[in-house]
Structure 1
């Protein structure tokens, strides 16, 4: 268990190779600073570095128990730990200097403080051996990070550690002297402390520090030093797998090879096929070890397909850390392997319990809580699962995390989270909890991807493409009845375990954070705030996100962009506007970059009158032929009927139908006379018309292709069409109905009609949703579909909003009369 003298490299830190003998010299030097007689504990509050290792073994050399503390802990958390176990010495670093200085005033005693950055060369007698220890002595006290909100000091004996060392170095030779093991995770947790430091150094292998947890540093370390064993958490492997799969999925050949490798299921074959991937990771990876949380079986399958052997373990801080682990050659995705040979595992009422040498001594100064978890020698893990016929463990959830509704139904929130996350690549993280006897979710989205996909209303998109579809697929009690979008990642421990107990507080936290944010005392912020509040009728806070908190849609953003240009002389594109995470940052940018300050109202009349060169597509000879053929087919396939065609005035005009299906435009168009059809234009989003043949078809069939990320130019383009005495069709809802009900109208058409004095013809489409609801690929035949052209609405003295509301009411009332 202890370090033995050798000239072999023990640690690699940046470009420095530190031999076992040098490590022992430093341990002797550090231990010479611990001059108190019979002291019992030494704490370490530092980032990962060789000095952390020196301090750790120096304490052991003095027969002390070590208390590792997360260097990123808050002042209150550090003070709690020190007050709880009162270590006589605290090693810290320059990085944690400010924290420890603040902690001193909050604790009830005076520890000796040693800054490892101020330790100079110390001449000390080098003693290569360690004193004999009783295996029942407490070796470390590891404070749990508090996924349930109550950190406790876990007392682990030398025997607890020794049984873990023997399990993977003697019983099963996973660790060997020739290995290079990566130190990536923070050493204050028992999983990386045992897996990357204690076991590595006890077998005479080499531990290599990664300078940071960034992907660049990780890859550079793997390649430079030929790492053979990586100790990581599922979140790390999820990210690595995602990066690899994204590249594979972009290549048809790579996808085919991946399928072949999956079917062949041979590590040696996969390593040859995906040699480039292995070379990317240094070309020497023997094992990927996963612990700290359950590994997604799909992730395990993908790594196996790529030729990596991923060994998943199951355990907890209280077992130092292993209860079960996967032996080489026995990878079975979904299972965390078989128990250690020295312990017993069984399942009682669905809960996994463990007995053996790996079970902790207890919680420090908490006998009652120790008695709650260790009963008759059996450690009750709190994890739910089962053992199969080969004695392999399968974890199904956490006992304390199971949601029990008032009707007695049990729900595993992790199952719901996995299902929701799998339904869209726009979900970065999701957490599920119970509130008011119903499931509630908080979602941290992939905001950048949403921008790239030009999704205007992310909340609405996720409502219908994720939540609604999920709810339709599950039994009623498992439905997610409410969800919220958040702007920061979910709260997790340093090993990425979800702090589930904090989920219900997230919404309250963000609301309170917004309300408590100090208002910037700059004129630019006040003007922007007043403009948004006047136009959107919402309360604006400095930290508000433009889309999530304020609900700005494309037209609202164009309004704001025009206002910024007219008031401050700054021109922004919509994509640039969204780069500002909140209103305060936008205001600060405007303050620094403005060329004028002249408050003006947004003048759409002037905007739409700006000259814009536009070549209108000319309808081909097939245009009306296609329309008339479509009319015959649609009348045959559906029971299609049109009325009120006489209400269509002489052009120019705007047709404003509600939107029920993906061929609503065709339903309207087939009732237009040939001559009128030639003068009527549709528009399509540029992202949908990227292929050359689609552009050709659009250009020959009165389809104007527009970039809706630049809505100002798009509106100017539509205005140019109307000014040329042509007609346009605009769907005011902006998107198809999700549930058959008419959605709210956006005022784009009202601005065009009002400023150009163009009449609007409301069009009520009824029955198309029943024939083709969202997700239906083949329309249902013989459904009755009615297209009704209502009396035209002339703008007159209407405002944008009143004109929009009037058209909406006409369409809505017509649908109600069916």
Structure 2
């Protein structure tokens, strides 16, 4: 039985607690919505209590559960649904729109259930959770993979049970008094079994972190006595980096770390780094790492800090464990030993596994199943070896082996590790074959580059990394080309490198700048830390505010307000940009400051400040012009709209993507007369400089924005909303060249959040083809669609999360690729 009443708390999320009794009741109540004959139930929802209700309700109804990544596009969801054809898909309000779009393309009928529309009721005759047939398929997990289309891995109840037995009876990692942290998305088998099914089976308590944000994570750890963290290597790398950076700044801490390293005692390390452990709640028993290989230095440093990191090896096809490290027997670099119920051996360098953990097969893919399952052995595709104590060491991935025209086989991971170890400035390395030569893509640590005083990164890497490496290896392993990139290498949701994308990366080197020593005076430090916090990037003294740091108009307003609040120095955007770099700006502030007091930027206070402005009023001709424009546009283009019923009562912000000069008109012509009269547009001051255009703007509800005084312009927009009117704001700020979404600025999010006004995302499709950028005359008869999407309320969002939520809604409706960044 996977679920029963243990007479204690089962789940925690912030201040919400659900007991085992409530959990059983809620599952039983939820299962009543799975009506009729149900063979398969798909879950397309973010991590939350209802995810678990849906999951166990599926098992309660003896159905196969198909978890789907809640961040999947409509096409990806549609592919999975068409592949396995579940009768029901369970979504949330957050995923409902993508779900509906995906379901519209299906070859069969499916019932959609929104967890936010389900009312949980008390069950008077609650039935015990059923004991399933152990050989029946329990879940179909679609692997995201590093290449190709996803495959549905069929896992039986016994596959899952043997994993639970391994960590509760064989290795005995889990105990009923444990509190397990849920961080990873539950559509992966690793977090599903490790942070949900196994702990709930034995009566432990699971605790959801509201997000991966540092504040949410630390408060969850500190407030809930977490005993076990289960995550991927990248998460532990970030933890280790943050702690090590603080230790490096403190001579005593550095000395203690060195001492602990030599002592190599967990109990000793826990005593001297007690403050570090308290930051994690003070109860961490184990950190469990899986999904990819853990960096040896990360494992070593976490152990020095007193954390026992248990590393495992597995794959979705084994639900997921194949080997696991026994507590007290950690060997850094090893992924542990096989479980008692499975057998591991090496065949031609490849790891193969046999036992109760091996999947039933790939759903509807007998040929692919037969390719990896041979005489009961699962051929993993991973390379490795077993030592004399049967400990497994992973050395690479068989499919990623590079075969050159001379017949030589090369393991790229081996080269990547060697290159990364040759200099501390190297953060990540990816190696691939191009033109029958080895090509390396290198991502460096900007902070360490600056600390090392390296002026020319390309030259440094050429002679100190690539050349030194090439001199130490046989000729066929030499790296003949390399590129430097300024962004992390592409990875899956569980941090496996997407090697097939490496050839698409381009070097984006900054022009070399004159070396400037890192200043230590307070004004510079405060300005630097403020910009770093705002932009989440590394700031150097010789960085230009626009070219190097990419400060946009809103960022400059933030900086303008910060300088005034902190130093008493008033500067507008032009004055700020008159300084060639951050250092020169800081030196000027040092000379002219009238105070020194660090304060947080209070946008609410800024937008509430008294500000006299006369809003433009539309003429009686406004609606006549709208109707005329609508007739003309419908004749000239194939113009359509949908979703007008989603417009809320009261003030709101319309946030459309921006593809052409006609976008404002495309949106406006569909608004009812009453709404249009209360809806304001904005125009950049440079576009309405002559008297005629100014007159038209003043009679057409157009707010003129002076970008050199964005703060005043924002107050104008706030005044519109405060007077019960509506706004149309294009979050991208400029038109797209290709029709793809650009970065969303957070101006609209600030206004929405501070004035508690809903945002209505608007997806405009086809406008870039009707009037491409650079063209004067529109192309006739092109199809243009305007979709008014469900409004988003600001109350549960920060500026950033609101901006991202609107971006996601528009993106999912357009089915466009997201850019690498959405930073404002």
Instruction: Note whether the superposition's TM-score is higher than 0.5.
Output: yes
* 2:717 aligned residue: none
Q: Secondary structure at the match of 2:210?
A: coil
Once the two structures are TM-superposed, the CA of residue 587 in structure 1 deviates from its matched residue by: 13
Alignment pair present for 1:577 and 2:576: no
**Further displaced range: 206-215 or 196-205:** 206-215
Give yes or no for contact 1:4–1:128 (8 Å, CA) kept in 2: no
Once the two structures are TM-superposed, the CA of residue 225 in structure 1 deviates from its matched residue by: 0.8
Alignment pair present for 1:322 and 2:289: no
Give yes or no for contact 1:335–1:395 (8 Å, CA) kept in 2: yes
Alpha carbons of 1:595 and 1:214: their partners in 2 closer, same or farther (altered >3 Å)? Answer: closer
Q: Secondary structure at the match of 2:383?
A: strand
- What pairs up with 1:318-357 in 2 under 5 angstroms? 318-357=317-356
Query: In the TM superposition, what whole-angstrom CA distance separates every residue of 1:528-568 from its partner, at most 9, and x where no partner exists?
Result: xxxxxxxxxxxxxxxxx7x54xx47559xxxxxxxxxxxxx
Alignment pair present for 1:243 and 2:269: no
* 2:495 aligned residue: 496
Provide the C-alpha distance between the structure 1 equivalents of 2:51 and 2:233, rounded to a whole number of angstroms.
25
* 2:194 aligned residue: 195
* 2:624 aligned residue: none
Alpha carbons of 1:587 and 1:292: their partners in 2 closer, same or farther (altered >3 Å)? Answer: closer
Q: Secondary structure at the match of 1:577?
A: coil
Provide the C-alpha distance between the structure 2 equivalents of 1:489 and 1:101, rounded to a whole number of angstroms.
33
* 2:373 aligned residue: 374
Once the two structures are TM-superposed, the CA of residue 264 in structure 1 deviates from its matched residue by: 2.5
Provide the C-alpha distance between the structure 1 equivalents of 2:80 and 2:438, rounded to a whole number of angstroms.
35
Once the two structures are TM-superposed, the CA of residue 440 in structure 1 deviates from its matched residue by: 0.8
Provide the C-alpha distance between the structure 2 equivalents of 1:426 and 1:82, rounded to a whole number of angstroms.
45
**Structure 2 unaligned blocks of 5 or more:** 516-538, 561-571, 581-824
* 2:6 aligned residue: 6
Give yes or no for contact 1:149–1:501 (8 Å, CA) kept in 2: no
* 1:665 aligned residue: none
Provide the C-alpha distance between the structure 1 equivalents of 2:230 and 2:134, rounded to a whole number of angstroms.
26
Alpha carbons of 1:24 and 1:578: their partners in 2 closer, same or farther (altered >3 Å)? Answer: same
**Further displaced range: 455-464 or 205-214:** 455-464
Alpha carbons of 1:126 and 1:13: their partners in 2 closer, same or farther (altered >3 Å)? Answer: farther
Q: Secondary structure at the match of 1:113?
A: strand
Alignment pair present for 1:480 and 2:447: no
* 1:36 aligned residue: 36
* 2:73 aligned residue: 74
Once the two structures are TM-superposed, the CA of residue 352 in structure 1 deviates from its matched residue by: 0.8
Q: Secondary structure at the match of 2:293?
A: coil
Once the two structures are TM-superposed, the CA of residue 582 in structure 1 deviates from its matched residue by: 8.3
Give yes or no for contact 2:26–2:120 (8 Å, CA) kept in 1: no
- What pairs up with 1:474-553 in 2 under 5 angstroms? 474-507=473-506, 548=510, 551=511, 553=513
**Structure 1 unaligned blocks of 5 or more:** 511-544, 556-571, 597-601, 603-818
Give yes or no for contact 2:158–2:357 (8 Å, CA) kept in 1: yes
Provide the C-alpha distance between the structure 2 equivalents of 1:231 and 1:112, rounded to a whole number of angstroms.
34
* 2:658 aligned residue: none
* 2:85 aligned residue: 86
Provide the C-alpha distance between the structure 2 equivalents of 1:307 and 1:445, rounded to a whole number of angstroms.
29
* 1:19 aligned residue: 19
* 2:158 aligned residue: 159
Provide the C-alpha distance between the structure 2 equivalents of 1:205 and 1:573, rounded to a whole number of angstroms.
48
Provide the C-alpha distance between the structure 2 equivalents of 1:122 and 1:151, rounded to a whole number of angstroms.
37
Provide the C-alpha distance between the structure 2 equivalents of 1:213 and 1:169, rounded to a whole number of angstroms.
27
Query: In the TM superposition, what whole-angstrom CA distance separates every residue of 1:392-426 from its partner, at most 9, and x where no partner exists?
Result: 11111111112122223222211222222233444
Query: In the TM superposition, what whole-angstrom CA distance separates every residue of 1:493-537 from its partner, at most 9, and x where no partner exists?
Result: 111111112222334xx9xxxxxxxxxxxxxxxxxxxxxxxxxxx
* 1:49 aligned residue: 48
Alpha carbons of 1:284 and 1:60: their partners in 2 closer, same or farther (altered >3 Å)? Answer: same
Q: Secondary structure at the match of 1:35?
A: coil
Alignment pair present for 1:135 and 2:134: yes
Provide the C-alpha distance between the structure 1 equivalents of 2:393 and 2:289, rounded to a whole number of angstroms.
15
Provide the C-alpha distance between the structure 2 equivalents of 1:582 and 1:250, rounded to a whole number of angstroms.
25
Provide the C-alpha distance between the structure 2 equivalents of 1:91 and 1:85, rounded to a whole number of angstroms.
15
Query: In the TM superposition, what whole-angstrom CA distance separates every residue of 1:74-129 from its partner, at most 9, and x where no partner exists?
Result: 22111111111011111111221221122122222221111112222435455241
* 1:391 aligned residue: 390
Provide the C-alpha distance between the structure 2 equivalents of 1:43 and 1:280, rounded to a whole number of angstroms.
38
Once the two structures are TM-superposed, the CA of residue 162 in structure 1 deviates from its matched residue by: 0.4
Q: Secondary structure at the match of 2:505?
A: helix
Alignment pair present for 1:284 and 2:251: no
- What pairs up with 1:395-434 in 2 under 5 angstroms? 395-434=394-433
Once the two structures are TM-superposed, the CA of residue 304 in structure 1 deviates from its matched residue by: 2.1
* Larger CA Rg, structure 1 vs 2: 1
Give yes or no for contact 2:30–2:120 (8 Å, CA) kept in 1: no
- What pairs up with 1:654-673 in 2 under 5 angstroms? none
Once the two structures are TM-superposed, the CA of residue 358 in structure 1 deviates from its matched residue by: 0.2
Once the two structures are TM-superposed, the CA of residue 372 in structure 1 deviates from its matched residue by: 0.3
Instruction: Output the TM-score relative to the length of structure 2.
Output: 0.62
Query: In the TM superposition, what whole-angstrom CA distance separates every residue of 1:321-380 from its partner, at most 9, and x where no partner exists?
Result: 001101111111111111110111111111111100000000000000000000010000
Provide the C-alpha distance between the structure 2 equivalents of 1:150 and 1:582, rounded to a whole number of angstroms.
37
Give yes or no for contact 2:153–2:317 (8 Å, CA) kept in 1: yes
Alpha carbons of 1:573 and 1:13: their partners in 2 closer, same or farther (altered >3 Å)? Answer: closer
Give yes or no for contact 1:353–1:379 (8 Å, CA) kept in 2: yes
Query: In the TM superposition, what whole-angstrom CA distance separates every residue of 1:696-718 from its partner, at most 9, and x where no partner exists?
Result: xxxxxxxxxxxxxxxxxxxxxxx
Alpha carbons of 1:573 and 1:484: their partners in 2 closer, same or farther (altered >3 Å)? Answer: closer
Alpha carbons of 1:586 and 1:427: their partners in 2 closer, same or farther (altered >3 Å)? Answer: farther
Query: In the TM superposition, what whole-angstrom CA distance separates every residue of 1:670-711 from its partner, at most 9, and x where no partner exists?
Result: xxxxxxxxxxxxxxxxxxxxxxxxxxxxxxxxxxxxxxxxxx
Alpha carbons of 1:460 and 1:159: their partners in 2 closer, same or farther (altered >3 Å)? Answer: same
Provide the C-alpha distance between the structure 2 equivalents of 1:301 and 1:576, rounded to a whole number of angstroms.
35
Instruction: Output the TM-score relative to the length of structure 1.
Output: 0.63
Once the two structures are TM-superposed, the CA of residue 584 in structure 1 deviates from its matched residue by: 10
* 1:147 aligned residue: 146
Provide the C-alpha distance between the structure 2 equivalents of 1:595 and 1:416, rounded to a whole number of angstroms.
49
**Further displaced range: 250-259 or 16-25:** 250-259
Alpha carbons of 1:110 and 1:20: their partners in 2 closer, same or farther (altered >3 Å)? Answer: same
Provide the C-alpha distance between the structure 2 equivalents of 1:297 and 1:423, rounded to a whole number of angstroms.
15
Alpha carbons of 1:594 and 1:284: their partners in 2 closer, same or farther (altered >3 Å)? Answer: closer
Once the two structures are TM-superposed, the CA of residue 486 in structure 1 deviates from its matched residue by: 2.9
Number of equivalenced pairs: 541
Query: In the TM superposition, what whole-angstrom CA distance separates every residue of 1:723-758 from its partner, at most 9, and x where no partner exists?
Result: xxxxxxxxxxxxxxxxxxxxxxxxxxxxxxxxxxxx
Give yes or no for contact 1:5–1:128 (8 Å, CA) kept in 2: no
Alpha carbons of 1:216 and 1:172: their partners in 2 closer, same or farther (altered >3 Å)? Answer: same
Alpha carbons of 1:74 and 1:460: their partners in 2 closer, same or farther (altered >3 Å)? Answer: farther
Once the two structures are TM-superposed, the CA of residue 130 in structure 1 deviates from its matched residue by: 2.0
